[in-house]
Chain A
Amino acid sequence: MAQSNQLQTGLYKRALLAGLWEQNPTFRLLIGMCPPLAVTTAVKPALTMGLSVIFVLVCSNFVTSLMRNLLKPHLRIIMFTLNIATFVTICDLYLRAYLPRMSEILGAYVPLIIVNCIIIFRCEACASKCGLIVSILDAVGMGLGFTIALCILASIRELLATGCIFDLRVMPSGFVPWLAMQMPVGAFVTLGLLLGLASVLTRKKRS
């Protein structure tokens, strides 16, 4: 009994931690790449986006896990997306009501969470096969991994583009802002360099 308990705890721990680095959606799996590029001009929208994704991911994994015995193979994807679309609508309405400025900045990227591959991927790969607790832990881990990746990217871009983080001045007054970091090119190149760094680090760790 004790052994099976231990096994269970190990399983939970693995589900929670996988998303942080081992299977980090942005740096390792390269899925759901639109938001990391689009909303990372500053840390605040990136954080809002990350939290919205965590909310949607946890809720949709929860519901998918509950209905995993009812899924029909050919209707699976449409059931997932409808489920996700419902929670995204809730999230969008909430943002519009309580954080109208953030909602304006994020614009169409909030409804676009519906087609974010991370969420469908987790519904398909985890929630439709595993129990409730594992699914929720997995969603939290993946969502946190995604949020952390967004925040890293956003803080680099915001720091270099404006010299501030969270609207707090960090750089000395002589700093010349790199305007390119706020443009699309900054997003692509920064993410490219970070991915390169991630792959070099993994290589080192392995050897």
Chain B
Amino acid sequence: MDRFYVLLMGFLSVVLVNNFVFTKFLGTCPYLGVSGRIDSAFGMGLAVTFVTALSGTLTWLVDYYILTPLGLEITRYICYIVIIAGAVQLVEMYVRKFFPSLYDAFGIFLPLISTNCVILAICLFLDIWGTDNLLEVVVLSTGVGAGFAMAICIMAGIREELIMADVPVGFQGAPITLITAGILTLAFMGFAGMIK
């Protein structure tokens, strides 16, 4: 029970309190770029969640069982990149073969994901946080992806309304989106005292 509580708190912490988009500004490019419509934002969020969970776990395993015992920490970034690119490629092939409808929904987002900073960041932060058991790693990396999906969906919802709004000339597009993002961040600061 105690362990379950820790895992649940960890999950909530990365989704709400330490959301990567709101507190660490990671994944800002797709957050601003792909959040025009809810359905594409949801597709992107889902694809990112999937890949973070997979590559977070894989990189942790490689780091813990191969790189650290052999003292090869120096090659860490290169290994991470190869694993992420491989995972993305694998997911793309698998989804295209077995879930064609899902593949259409993900569309062009899958190849784009390999340069999404959320994914490399979760691999790096798992190391910084010093996580040392597999279950925690899986829960945390899924949580980070879910947090990103939530953030991008909220943003897309707001932006669909913003189209109707009377925004001053010159502030249309990216500037107003950034200011909206700022206010959204302010709202999420309310969770800051909740855990730890």
Contacts and interface: CB of A to CB of B under 8 A. Distances in A.
B117 A112 contact: yes
A34 B25 contact: yes
Nearest to B177: A192
A148 interface: no
B115 interface: yes
B144 interface: no
A30 B33 CA distance: 9
Interface in B120-148: 120-121, 124-125, 128
B81 A196 contact: no
A107 B121 CA distance: 11
9 contacts: A30-B32, A34-B25, A37-B25, A78-B85, A85-B81, A108-B125, A112-B120, A116-B117, A199-B171
A21 to B, nearest CB: 17
B32 A187 contact: no
Interface stretch (A46-54, A88-96, A170-178): A88-96
Contacts of A77: 85, 111, 114-115
Interface of B: 22-29, 32-33, 74-78, 81-82, 85, 111, 114-117, 119-121, 124-125, 128, 169-171, 173-179, 181-183, 185-186, 189
Interface of A: 30-34, 37-38, 77-78, 81-82, 85-86, 88-89, 92-93, 107-108, 111-112, 114-117, 120, 183-189, 191-193, 195-196, 199-200, 203
Contact of A115 (B120, B179, B186): B120
Contacts of A117: 29, 115
B77 A88 contact: yes
Given A184-B23, A196-B170, 14 more contacts: A30-B32, A33-B32, A34-B28, A78-B82, A85-B78, A108-B121, A111-B77, A115-B116, A184-B22, A187-B182, A188-B181, A193-B179, A199-B170, A199-B175
